[in-house]
Amino acid sequence: MPRVLSLLGTLALACRPAPTLDLSRFELVDLSHSYSSATLYWPTSPSAFELKPLHVGPTPAGFFYSAYTFATPEHGGTHLDAPVHFAESGAPVEQVPLTRLIAPAVVIDATVQAAADPDYRLTPADVEAFEQTHGRIAPGTIVLLRTGWSRRWGDRKAYFGDDTPGDATKLHFPGYGEDAARLLVEGRDAAALGVDSPSVDYGPSQDFPVHRIAAPRGVPNFENLANLDRLPATGATVFALPMKIEGGSGAPLRAVALTPRD
């Protein structure tokens, strides 16, 4: 009988309703820019976003129907850089673990520094100052760098620092510094690096050290993020889910954050 009672107790526990996520306890923040003909792409991109109608209007049966085809380079708008973007043996988009795309997030605010210097690069001292206030960044955390650059979205010259067609040698915008990236990727085991500017590497970079530090270690990047000013320094959970392009080096990204309501 005791064994039967134990079995019944186990079954009762197994049949309890699973806990549900009460979204009313959170604010949902959209971290992505929309894709359209106005979406900004890297200056050397051979094309941009295209949306073409296949059918828009009434059908012979009398009901409305719309369908489109779209085309876009991988690296434009709010997007993910997969590790294979800068590491030959790195994971393509569909192989990036979900634990790197859905995780607690911290937001390091460098808006003051970026306002004073459009070529500002996050430093280890900035990371350490953040940790002195908010505690050490835990392994598996998505690190987001807030520069304020998303306010410039839509104005190519203001956002990239230059608007010369086909030329990526005159760009000016903030990003991560090499030493800060190494600290976050190697010293803090960050799940991913994100930024609200065009790249995790700052504008004048021509050798992209942050990409080359992150990619071989399996760390993806989220670029051209929006609304980081609506996130707390700690406490948000980010869901950064790219289009699952098999073999892709990058993909359009719909990123959202859940922040606890007071």
Backbone angles phi, psi at 96, to 5 degrees: -70, 125
Burial class (CB in 10 A: 0-12, 13-18, 19+), 199: buried
Amino acid identity, position 86: F
Q: How far is CA 228 from the centre of its chain?
A: 11
Looking at the DSSP bridge assignments, the partners of residue 193 are 143, 221
End-to-end CA distance of the chain: 49
Catalytic residues: 85
**Which residue spans within the chain are E strands per DSSP?**
26-30, 50-58, 64-71, 79-81, 102-109, 121-122, 142-146, 175-176, 192-195, 221-223, 234-242, 250-260
Q: In this structure, is the dihedral angle defined by the CA atoms of residues 198, 100, 182 and 137, taken in order, positive or negative?
A: positive
